[in-house]
Structure 1
Amino acid sequence: MIPVTTFSGRTVALFGLGGSGLATALALNEGGAHVIACDDNPAKMAEANARGIETGDLRNADWSRFSSFILSPGVPLTHPEPHWSAKLARAAGVEIIGDIELFCREREKIAPNAPFVAITGTNGKSTTTALIAHILREAGRDVQMGGNIGTAILSLEPPADDRIHVIECSSFQIDLAPSLAPTMGVHLNLSPDHIDRHGTMEDYAAIKQRLVAKAGLAVIGVDDPMSRAIADSCQAKGVNVARVSVEPLGVKGVFADGETLVGVTVSGAAPVANLSGIGSLRGAHNAQNAAAAVAVALASGISPEEIRAGLHTFPGLPHRMEEVGRIGSTLFINDSKATNADSTEKALKSFDDILWILGGKAKEGGIEPLTSYFPKIRKAYLIGAAADEFAGTLGSDVPHVQCGTLDNAVAQAAADAQALGSPAVVLLSPACASYDQFPNYEVRGNHFRDLVRALPGLEAKGA
């Protein structure tokens, strides 16, 4: 835990007692603050009470008592309408901040030179965060990883000059961190997302830019127009910028030339590493993620040899094109995290001879954007509520079968793969939310993994 001593002796209000909210309340208490916490869920209020956190109804509170208001990033700050607690804080003139901001203030107080790497982007930020942390750890560094990727930032070990915090930041968290100024800030890409929470694409981009605007080094992906504009804007304002791309660069940064990652400095361009054969980093999107991680590692003083070792031992993240294992020449891939067509596209780009398991609760647009990849699909196995809709889209272009459940789909796909007698990929990439049949994509992916591992003849990854 990181005790938040910068608020010692102050009274603060807090709304949202989920995982990060409870961790924040505990860290504030540990640092000597007086916390009045609130949540719309009485069970979370009761849990906080049991952990020694004072709770109360902030609707009826005297807001003149509060020096600050700590808001959970999952609670609307501005759009589609500010949460009632945010309205009360603004009316009282009380600052509204989040747990990333508390970390930034504590770091500034106790270890202002402590290395701090912050990562954002519409896509790929979890993989990039995990990859950076993995490379640094494999090189012998003391690394703390958390934020939006899982472990709440204030649950980590405190900042220190010889300890690197590698933190994934969502746009919601950035919006609540006005003093965010990492040693290295990484912005990967921008595409439409969370517009309901930010109002416009321009507002969304402006929030993302805050993560790199005050960074000691801004590592910025430049493969989309708005991110290129962010890089140009930062450089024009004197920020030290390193660009990353899947296209050749003529300026400082790292780019992917196919599977080769090339570093560019004032001395010229030189290969750093090759991604060939690294199953956890397949596809152009992962080449961009890896280029960003390499840029951070090089700036951290990690040698090319150590970087190559880290890349080759990176296990990847669960449910993101995760290799479960093989039966003969058939590879089984768990891509349950692909809950929309954009995410599934990355998997379809990365494989051929696909036996595709898809379906669930459909998102707007369904799988229509994926029709150009249909020639890569040997057969489709439809599950869940979207099965009829997706069958209509596949039509006569892709052989398909209605399986109903994931259990049936895995069994039929495995049997068909065996009958093919040639290399194939059984790919769970549903292009759908899970909640028609599963509580979340993690449960869906775990079930797929269990089903595959129960198949006879499986060679599990790492076995």
Structure 2
Amino acid sequence: MIPVRGFEGKTVAVFGLGRTGLTAARALLAGKAKVIAWDEKASGREAAQAEGLTVKDLWAADWSQISALMLSPGVPLTHPKPHWVVEKAQAAGVEILGDIELFARTVNAAPAHKRPKVAAITGTNGKSTTTALLGHICRSAGRDTRIGGNIGYGVLSLDDMHGGAVYVLETSSYQLDLTSSLKADAAIILNISPDHLDRHGGMEGYIAAKRRILLNQDKGDTAIIGVDDPWCQQICTEITAANRRTIWPISAGRAMGRGVYVLQGVLYDATGDRVTEVADLLRARSLPGRHNWQNAAAAYAAARAMGISMADAAEGLRTFPGLAHRMETVATIGKVRFVNDSKATNADAARQAMSSYPRFYWIAGGVPKAGGIDSLTDLFPRIAKAYLIGDAAPAFGAALKDRAPAKECGTLEAAVMAAYADAKASGEEAVVLLSPACASFDQFADFEARGEAFRTAVQKLSKTPKGATA
């Protein structure tokens, strides 16, 4: 745990008592703050009470006695409208912040020789893979590396810092909205496409949230920006004009005079005086496809910015084992391969997996994002059949009508059973792909829970072990 500094003896309200909120409450207490906690759900309040936290209804609290509000990232800050607890804090002039900001202030408060290196990653798609990949490279190179943020573990639950430590943090737009003091030694913006627009009031607000990862960077820091989409191209141009930090563009499809890029699967380093061929990503089995080439370019660039040698960074790319819930093969039963891409919570993310297979049996649905699956029409001919679940099933069925066969299955388990039956009956080498293009919250707590439910459903199919491999 990282004890939070800067709130010693002060009262901090924590709202939202899921993983992030409970972790922040513990870290604040460890840093000698006074904590009052609240959640609108009884289960959250009960979890806090079980840990001995002071649970107090913040609606009736005396806000004049509160120094700060630690807000869980899932709670609306500005759109569609501010949550009532945000309005209470604002009315009282109470600062609102998130767990990444608590971490940043604790780093900034440490003496210079005790401050760790920090790499922060954001983007619409690829954040988790890039975070895990960069963490793997750093660990493989012998660095004391901690991986967290929006992936796996809340940042404040990671081991306490020291001057030789490296923190590799996935940061979502929700978290960045609550962050103002983070100074990343290496900051990555992978890509930007429309997502979470309801929470940010439109594309302008979403981009502004992503750009916050670059706040406070200065000479000696490195910004790594994907330039394969127009929004990131513009950001790269604008920060280049500012001419403070080191800026390395990355691309998964075109050569550049400066930066890191991939052409036909080969990664090139153009950050120095000459272009150097670094690695053949076609040999990196856990990094298939152009989208993963962008992730690899970003992770490699950040590793180099953190002082890791070219050879060690290339070896880390080659040995990366992959990421759970992202194009993860969970089993092969006979000729049918089951791929868990539950992390694909929007159409752009689903495109990455769908583009990797010439034909597949597609499990999709959940809580749809703006635009649904309209942007995927060019991939519909690859769909052998679609198995639709959750709230999006009727709309997705309408979008697929006369373009690809589809069946509304209701539940994920029913979809797995139906997809397997059809794939097996084809008699061909087949892929059953869970790549939902939707959020999970209609049926599951998060995409991880959805991915694990897919794994469980597949395991039930393979109880007869003949021909099955995990």
TM-score, length basis structure 2: 0.89
* Match of residue 34 from structure 1: 34
Contact 1:353-1:423 within 8 A present in 2 as well: no
**Closer/same/farther in 2, CA of residues 363 and 148 from structure 1, 3 Å limit:** closer
Give CA deviations for 1:159-205 in whole Å, capped at 9, x if unaligned.
21111011111112112121111111111111112222222322221
* Match of residue 88 from structure 1: 88
1:222 counterpart = 2:224: no
Give CA deviations for 1:215-251 in whole Å, capped at 9, x if unaligned.
3111111111121121222222222111111133434
* Match of residue 201 from structure 1: 203
User: What is the alpha-carbon distance in structure 2 between the residues aligned to residue 405 and residue 79 of structure 1?
Assistant: 31
**Cα displacement (A) at 1:458:** 4.7
State the secondary structure of the residue aligned to 2:297: helix
User: What is the alpha-carbon distance in structure 2 between the residues aligned to residue 389 and residue 101 of structure 1?
Assistant: 39
* Match of residue 131 from structure 2: 129
Structure 2 residue corresponding to 1:211, chosen from 213, 231, 238: 213
**Closer/same/farther in 2, CA of residues 251 and 161 from structure 1, 3 Å limit:** farther
**Closer/same/farther in 2, CA of residues 440 and 79 from structure 1, 3 Å limit:** closer
User: What is the alpha-carbon distance in structure 2 between the residues aligned to residue 437 and residue 73 of structure 1?
Assistant: 20
User: What is the alpha-carbon distance in structure 2 between the residues aligned to residue 138 and residue 27 of structure 1?
Assistant: 29
Structure 2 residue corresponding to 1:268, chosen from 250, 264, 274: 274
* Match of residue 50 from structure 2: 50
- The one-letter amino acid of 2:314's match is R
State the secondary structure of the residue aligned to 1:7: coil
* Match of residue 143 from structure 2: 141
User: What is the alpha-carbon distance in structure 2 between the residues aligned to residue 82 and residue 368 of structure 1?
Assistant: 30
User: What is the alpha-carbon distance in structure 2 between the residues aligned to residue 22 and residue 135 of structure 1?
Assistant: 30
Structure 2 residue corresponding to 1:344, chosen from 350, 371, 376: 350
**Cα displacement (A) at 1:347:** 1.4
Give CA deviations for 1:307-340 in whole Å, capped at 9, x if unaligned.
3332233232222211123346543211233344
State the secondary structure of the residue aligned to 1:48: helix
User: What is the alpha-carbon distance in structure 1 between the residues aligned to residue 389 and residue 46 of structure 2?
Assistant: 39
- The one-letter amino acid of 2:64's match is S
Contact 1:69-1:96 within 8 A present in 2 as well: yes
**Cα displacement (A) at 1:352:** 0.9
User: What is the alpha-carbon distance in structure 1 between the residues aligned to residue 426 and residue 85 of structure 2?
Assistant: 59
* Match of residue 232 from structure 1: 237
User: What is the alpha-carbon distance in structure 1 between the residues aligned to residue 203 and residue 216 of structure 2?
Assistant: 21
* Match of residue 23 from structure 2: 23
Give CA deviations for 1:271-328 in whole Å, capped at 9, x if unaligned.
2112214343222221111110010112223233333332233232222211123346
User: What is the alpha-carbon distance in structure 2 between the residues aligned to residue 418 and residue 63 of structure 1?
Assistant: 62
1:308 counterpart = 2:314: yes
State the secondary structure of the residue aligned to 1:205: helix
**How many residues are aligned here?**
461
* Match of residue 74 from structure 2: 74
Contact 1:325-1:458 within 8 A present in 2 as well: no
**Closer/same/farther in 2, CA of residues 148 and 57 from structure 1, 3 Å limit:** same
- The one-letter amino acid of 1:217's match is T
**Closer/same/farther in 2, CA of residues 315 and 13 from structure 1, 3 Å limit:** same
User: What is the alpha-carbon distance in structure 1 between the residues aligned to residue 252 and residue 270 of structure 2?
Assistant: 13
**Cα displacement (A) at 1:443:** 3.7
User: What is the alpha-carbon distance in structure 2 between the residues aligned to residue 294 and residue 234 of structure 1?
Assistant: 21
**Cα displacement (A) at 1:146:** 0.8
User: What is the alpha-carbon distance in structure 2 between the residues aligned to residue 91 and residue 144 of structure 1?
Assistant: 37
Structure 1 residue corresponding to 2:331, chosen from 319, 325, 334: 325
**Cα displacement (A) at 1:418:** 4.6
**Closer/same/farther in 2, CA of residues 34 and 396 from structure 1, 3 Å limit:** closer
State the secondary structure of the residue aligned to 1:211: helix
- The one-letter amino acid of 1:82's match is P
- The one-letter amino acid of 2:304's match is L
**Closer/same/farther in 2, CA of residues 450 and 71 from structure 1, 3 Å limit:** closer
**Cα displacement (A) at 1:360:** 5.0
User: What is the alpha-carbon distance in structure 2 between the residues aligned to residue 47 and residue 399 of structure 1?
Assistant: 45
Contact 1:4-1:30 within 8 A present in 2 as well: yes
* Match of residue 278 from structure 1: 284
User: What is the alpha-carbon distance in structure 2 between the residues aligned to residue 404 and residue 201 of structure 1?
Assistant: 32
Bigger CA drift: 200-209 or 425-434?
425-434
Structure 1's unaligned 5+ residue stretches are none
TM-score, length basis structure 1: 0.90
Structure 2's unaligned 5+ residue stretches are none
Give CA deviations for 1:338-386 in whole Å, capped at 9, x if unaligned.
3443332221111113233334565554434322112223344455665
* Match of residue 10 from structure 1: 10
User: What is the alpha-carbon distance in structure 1 between the residues aligned to residue 303 and residue 108 of structure 2?
Assistant: 23
- Percent identity among equivalent residues? 50
User: What is the alpha-carbon distance in structure 1 between the residues aligned to residue 344 and residue 418 of structure 2?
Assistant: 21
Bigger CA drift: 268-277 or 366-375?
366-375
1:99 counterpart = 2:111: no
**Cα displacement (A) at 1:56:** 2.1
